[in-house]
Amino acid sequence: MARLPTIVLALAVVAAGCGGSGAQTNDADIEARVAAADPAAGQPVFDDICAACHGPEGQGGIGARLVGVGGRLSATEIHEIVTDGRGRMPAWGNRLDADEVDAVVAYVLDTFPAE
């Protein structure tokens, strides 16, 4: 799987607008953005993009099994994978905006928590 690129850039822009330096986004920023995101807004992104490889129930297939991923990876790690890609998974950071990445990560964590 890959790292998550789009959200990091978007977070830097948001941080710059909120008085932050905008130069870097740290793990706490990503964790806070994902925690504030609406998982329901991430479902259409998951259904349209992720389910083709990860399966509609997160069972895996071409892509990794997502069931229980919330117990294996942090929000930041999942965000990086979605944004930057990893292994055979392409990077989605250049195709999804920051809000979409945050929302799909929130959806994945909400739908596939630790087993």
Q: Over 80: is that where the pLDDT of 57 sits?
A: yes
Assign residue 31 the CATH number of its domain.
1.10.760.10
- Tell me, yes or no, whether 1 lies in a domain: no
Mean pLDDT along residues 22-29: 72
Q: Which has the closest alpha carbon to 50: 88, 86, 7, 89?
A: 89
Q: What is the pTM of this model?
A: 0.78
| CB-CB contact of 114 with 68 (8 Å) | yes
Domain that holds residue 82: 6-111
Q: What percent of the chain has pLDDT over 90?
A: 77
Number of domains comprising the chain: 1
Measured CA angle at 15 (ends 4, 74), to 5 deg: 35
23 versus 59: the higher-pLDDT residue is 59
The CA distance from 17 to 37, in Å, is 18
75 versus 16: the higher-pLDDT residue is 75
- Tell me, yes or no, whether 92 lies in a domain: yes
The CA distance from 17 to 95, in Å, is 22
pLDDT reported for residue 24:
55
The CA distance from 49 to 94, in Å, is 14
pLDDT reported for residue 115:
87
pLDDT reported for residue 15:
38
